[in-house]
């Protein structure tokens, strides 16, 4: 029986996120309708403590690792994810500082792609104005794309997907602690 993800387009920075290939930050958006409501769009960039979780994606493999890391805590690796892509120069123009922090994932390669963006009221407004002026659209990883990403990650032995792995293609190995 064929897998339902076989016909899905692969995850790519250009196709999935709608931006040119290269480094881009992505912010997971849990309620995509908010982004399309100009009066509420800033909620996509808000956290009470000002530390907004973002992931830096430099290539298509990074994108796959990030979507797997995000879905790792969900019921299924096939759950759809919506992203707000943000270019590094857009963050810099809004004076947003990004600090690399370990993401919550079992995949060491994905964990290194996580950042906390320091976004307060002033720079959130500037960043939002920049993104809206650029007519930034959300990127979407469909259920089929997520299934394909999970299958590839399983073949790679990814720590986030495989139960009791010993190694994965990112070069990491499992070391039992004494």
Output phi, psi for 30, to 5 deg.
-80, -25
Query: In the prediction, which pLDDT does 52 show?
Result: 97
Q: How many Å apart are CA 158 and CA 170, to the nearest integer?
A: 8
pLDDT, tens digit, 9 for 90 and up, residues 118-142: 999 999 999 999 999 999 999 999 9
Query: Domain containing 70: what range?
Result: 13-155
User: How high is the mean pLDDT of the chain?
Assistant: 86
pLDDT, tens digit, 9 for 90 and up, residues 62-79: 999 999 998 887 777 788
What's CA 12's distance to the chain center, in Å? 12
Q: How many Å apart are CA 96 and CA 127, to the nearest integer?
A: 8
Is 8 among the domain residues? no
Is 177 among the domain residues? no
Is 166 among the domain residues? no
pTM: 0.87
pLDDT, tens digit, 9 for 90 and up, residues 21-46: 789 999 999 999 999 998 899 999 99
Is 74 among the domain residues? yes
Q: How confident is the model at residue 166 (pLDDT cuts 50, 70, 90)?
A: low
Is 82 among the domain residues? yes
Query: In the prediction, which pLDDT does 173 show?
Result: 47
Query: In the prediction, which pLDDT does 1 show?
Result: 35
Number of separate domains in the chain: 1
Q: Which ranges of the chain would DSSP assign to H, the alpha helix? A: 32-35, 60-71, 88-93, 108-111, 121-133, 143-155
Is 164 among the domain residues? no
Is 160 among the domain residues? no
């Amino acid at each position: 029986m064929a897998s339902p993800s076989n016909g899905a387009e692969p995850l790519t920075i250009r196709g999935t996120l709608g931006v040119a290939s290269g480094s881009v930050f992505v912010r997971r958006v849990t309620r995509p309708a908010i982004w399309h409501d100009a009066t509420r769009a800033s909620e996509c960039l808000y956290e009470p403590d000002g530390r907004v979780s973002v992931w830096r994606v430099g290539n298509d493999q990074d994108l796959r690792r990030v979507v797997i890391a995000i879905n790792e805590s969900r019921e299924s690796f096939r759950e759809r994810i919506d992203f707000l892509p943000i270019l590094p120069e857009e963050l810099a123009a809004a004076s947003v500082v990004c600090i690399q922090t370990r993401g919550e994932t079992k995949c060491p390669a994905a964990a290194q792609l996580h950042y906390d963006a320091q976004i307060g009221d002033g720079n959130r407004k500037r960043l939002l104005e920049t993104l809206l002026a650029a007519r930034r659209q959300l990127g979407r990883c469909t259920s089929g794309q997520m299934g394909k990403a999970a299958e590839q990650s399983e073949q790679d032995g990814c720590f986030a997907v495989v139960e009791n792995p010993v190694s994965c293609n990112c070069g990491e190995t499992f070391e039992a602690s004494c």
